[in-house]
Structure 1
């Protein structure tokens, strides 16, 4: 249902490319926009894809698990019964056209009306559900009393869909108990299936740092500020002298949403500078922020308010361009307080960067404090400033943790290996090992 811009779309693409090597043929049904970053035909090229064009009205535009001010996508829990039925009817037609009833397993990402459509069109095909975490956040907000008008109806639906699933893939061990509590599922049906990285793409690359930063910050800038057009923030060669001069670089790759805490990161950087704990030529690069999409405090405003120096906004770049950016940096930092996994942490570590992250949820399972990076408490500006200072000011320790981060990422999070683990789950479900109800068929998903 989700058009390809979020993290779950990257997971879907990676698994769809890798599963055939493990004996599974994949047909992909996905929402799409007519052009740009939401064009599924471009994003999922070379795959057997059934794109559903939102712009042409073939299906309703997808709702969200987040309720963000100004967002076009309404939070699921605010959609009434008629809206729900419109989604189910649309996706039922899509599943029918794609021949869902003739497949061996339906691998459904997130808990959405696709589950209801699958139950109507292909009731005898087993379902494997991939929980990416944002659905759990919405359910937790509902449990805490969020006043969405149709919240309880969606809780009942999502619990029913989860309980119908033969297996539920969760991103980290910390999600198992949350999923059990929120969805009422048998913990034995949960399988820890972390996100990964493409080892053929993500690795330390030989990059001319000076030329790279000059090209992306001076010659063709993409940074932007609220109310201005894409590319409105540009830099001179004098501005980026710390970057082109070889000073240490911390990099963050993130959307500009409130939970990412980019304002906190900028203030922590300014705090370390004001305390004299950072070298004068140290830089912080903020990569990401889809043009016009931000929530709360924009990082450009945080830079201006804090007086932080040597902070550069690099703008939004396609996923395939990330390895070169990561290879021009020395440490990766992610201040997000509700990161359900943190795929970009894994990708940065695969490029040899030690990571600074928050000691909660997915990042706490990815980063080993003192070994592959630094973990800090959420929303603790002082701790984050100290971690930045420690990483930037101590190149020997930074490189030591970076080497271990590279090894750990390649051992635990390579997509070919993770897809092999998923293929075993699909084999088990298709073969009916779990409860004897299912019968074995030629594997397609």
Structure 2
């Protein structure tokens, strides 16, 4: 029998963790007799070859319906274009993707109508037996109007929960309560709701008014064929950093937002190219919760304490996108700013190589409902430094006396503690090796997509019923 069809819907263009989840689930769902195949509907931005272009991101092996946003971002009001630019769960002044909670009823109706047209286009729903909707968005309302009896699995990725938290805390968004009510309605009528960690499950049940035990857990994972633990030799490390920072740079600043505006010469790269350097890597968007500027300041403290070079590479930052202080400004003000490097936004297919060339991952995000990049680092044998809050402590053992310790956990927004963790990680190669090996074993045992995808298929079987 041919595999059954699950429709994955992601209204966002590829730039965050949820897109990675969609891509890997689509590739690893068990097929064959009684299996499942994915059809993906997702936003797309940019030309082929750019990391935000959906076809290149998801690959030829994934059946894709791409929703182009290029015209929308150039429109006078992107969220009212046709098709409209997706909104965001974050508020960034001047961004084309305004925060959901700022959109009025007319804008909401426009998005529902647009997604009804997208999902109702010929062939999109053909043969679909279950819809897997990522995040809580107007696509929920559009789908229930198109196919009211179709089972829906709602996959929460954390950012929607962060917006709900801000609404409950009194964020000054005029339409926040209306959006919160819609999101609760969409969750309530879903056949299943899943989140990525025990912390996210509890928060989702609280914020969405759902009964305890009603939200399931599907953790994020890694592809062990990509994040294979291979380490880069010193010469290869130097070549990779030289290529990304000098030959093909993509870094940018608020003053010059062109990818590649930041380029480093050989003298500037010297601390990073030293074969004995301990390289600290940050990976992520430059959103406020990631606390990249805090890391830059903690790095200066750690550098002063160590008394030797400690190169810090910031890998990410979608072009032109940031919240609050830009980390480039923090680096310019840092006494150790000459050891801070910006690679710019690069494709996820390059992340394993970046991790292979790093010794420690440091992402002091204060609001990670899971944090896939920590798993990816652990799979590569790179111990992470993370905040002891929400998702990371559910899978990173950070206690110094724990035999299975796999990273360092610090209190959120504690610059001194973060600096101390950097010093501890940089100053003890044996401890780095121990925590790196423990993390790699944990990920291999519990957090790989080939093991997680069949659990998702079992949810489909349950909500869709027998063939």
Shift of 1:99: 4.5
Deviations 1:113-145 (A, max 9, x none): 111111111111111000011111111111111
Match of 1:413 in 2: 447
Is 1:133 paired with 2:143? no
Shift of 1:5: 1.6
User: How far, CA to CA, are the matches of 2:46 and 2:302 in structure 1?
Assistant: 45
Q: Residues 101 and 122 of structure 1 are in contact (CA less than 8 Å); yes or no, is this contact kept in structure 2? A: no
User: How far, CA to CA, are the matches of 1:263 and 1:101 in structure 2?
Assistant: 48
Q: Residues 279 and 393 of structure 1 are in contact (CA less than 8 Å); yes or no, is this contact kept in structure 2? A: no
User: How far, CA to CA, are the matches of 1:128 and 1:393 in structure 2?
Assistant: 46
Q: Residues 92 and 322 of structure 2 are in contact (CA less than 8 Å); yes or no, is this contact kept in structure 1? A: no
Of 223, 248, 255, the match for 2:251: 223
Is 1:13 paired with 2:42? no
Match of 1:436 in 2: none
Q: Residues 223 and 232 of structure 1 are in contact (CA less than 8 Å); yes or no, is this contact kept in structure 2? A: yes
Match of 1:203 in 2: 228
Of 115, 128, 134, the match for 1:109: 134
Following superposition of structure 1 onto structure 2, how do residues 255-266 of structure 1 map, counting pairs within 5 Å? 255-266=285-296
Deviates more, 1:12-21 or 1:46-55: 46-55
Instruction: Considering Cα pairs closer than 8 Å and 6+ residues apart, tell me whether 1 or 2 has the greater RCO.
Output: 1
Gaps of 5+ in 1: 432-439
Q: Residues 20 and 26 of structure 1 are in contact (CA less than 8 Å); yes or no, is this contact kept in structure 2? A: no
Of 16, 21, 27, the match for 2:39: 27
Match of 2:4 in 1: none
Is 1:376 paired with 2:405? no
Shift of 1:343: 0.9
Q: Residues 252 and 333 of structure 1 are in contact (CA less than 8 Å); yes or no, is this contact kept in structure 2? A: yes
Is 1:341 paired with 2:370? yes
Shift of 1:352: 0.5
Secondary structure of 1:104's counterpart equals strand
Deviations 1:176-229 (A, max 9, x none): 221111111233331111111111111233431122222222223222222113
Q: Aligned-residue CA RMSD in angstroms? A: 1.6
| TM-score normalised by the chain length of structure 2 | 0.89
Is 1:92 paired with 2:116? yes
Match of 2:456 in 1: 422
Secondary structure of 1:69's counterpart equals coil
Secondary structure of 2:283's counterpart equals strand
Deviations 1:375-431 (A, max 9, x none): 000000110000000000001111110111111111121011110111111111112
| TM-score normalised by the chain length of structure 1 | 0.93
Deviates more, 1:144-153 or 1:29-38: 29-38
Match of 2:67 in 1: 52
Of 81, 85, 88, the match for 1:64: 88
Match of 2:279 in 1: 249
User: How far, CA to CA, are the matches of 1:77 and 1:190 in structure 2?
Assistant: 24
Secondary structure of 2:67's counterpart equals strand
Shift of 1:173: 0.2
Gaps of 5+ in 2: 1-10, 72-80, 400-404
How many residues are matched?
Answer: 431
User: How far, CA to CA, are the matches of 2:314 and 2:219 in structure 1?
Assistant: 25
User: How far, CA to CA, are the matches of 1:350 and 1:279 in structure 2?
Assistant: 30
Shift of 1:55: 3.5
Following superposition of structure 1 onto structure 2, how do residues 317-336 of structure 1 map, counting pairs within 5 Å? 317-336=346-365
User: How far, CA to CA, are the matches of 2:457 and 2:214 in structure 1?
Assistant: 16
Secondary structure of 1:128's counterpart equals strand
Match of 1:311 in 2: 340
Is 1:288 paired with 2:313? no
Match of 2:266 in 1: 237
Structure 2 vs 1, CA of residues 34 and 387 (structure 1 numbering), >3 Å: closer, same or farther?
A: closer
User: How far, CA to CA, are the matches of 1:253 and 1:174 in structure 2?
Assistant: 22
User: How far, CA to CA, are the matches of 2:260 and 2:42 in structure 1?
Assistant: 30
User: How far, CA to CA, are the matches of 1:59 and 1:89 in structure 2?
Assistant: 10
